[in-house]
Amino acid sequence: MSRIRLVPMLLILLVSLAVFFAGWQVYKRYNLVDPVKTDLQSVSGVQNVDVLVGNPTVIRVKLGPVQDLQTTYDSIAEAVTGSVNAGSTIVIVDNKNKALQQEYENLFPSIMQGVSHGDYKQMITDVEKEATIDGFKSKITMDHHNIYLQLEQGTHYLYDVWNYNPTTTTLQQAQQAQGGATS
């Protein structure tokens, strides 16, 4: 009968775990993080990229001043989709100050009212007019999935991207008009 020695088995277990952990770190660094950073740093307006691997993977993108947030965000999303799993989250980091944050909070109800009523053209007009009156440069654009807001004041800028579903909003409005319930 042979005996299993405890010390050599624990040593083998620890060395194996260390090798597996080191292999995972190398894989993560060279096959996931570095390619995403390289792809994203080639996008115009991107200043810095941090990739936090997890479930979901969080990609923090520091943007400088950009002409069109929608185009920049689409380029970022395309680069991320090609490199990372579909459940990843993109976080846009901007250069806002207190005044921009306050203006954003003031404009937010107008944006949500426009989305809830489905009156997107009026929402864009109202938001841009109100921001201009308050002394801010603004731009709001949309596509089939997102609303993009850019606010600027001097060297500071605030960017925000909201995901929305126009089909659901229209369906909810139709059901409410007919007295139906929504889920």
Distance between CA atoms of residues 169 and 88, nearest Å: 25
Kindly report the average pLDDT of the chain as a whole number: 83
pLDDT of 125 reads 93
User: Above 60 in pLDDT, residue 173?
Assistant: no
Q: Supply the CATH classification number for the domain 6-93.
A: 3.30.300.30
Instruction: With H, G, I as helix, E, B as strand and everything else as coil, classify residue 120.
Output: helix
47-82 residue pLDDT tens: 999 988 777 888 999 999 999 999 999 999 888 886
User: Above 50 in pLDDT, residue 170?
Assistant: no
5-49 residue pLDDT tens: 888 888 888 988 888 888 777 666 666 778 888 888 889 999 999
Distance between CA atoms of residues 58 and 87, nearest Å: 9
Query: Structural domain boundaries of the chain?
Result: 6-93, 98-177
pLDDT of 47 reads 94
Instruction: From 104, 152, 110, 147, select the one nearest 127 (Cα to Cα).
Output: 110
Q: What is the pTM of this model?
A: 0.73
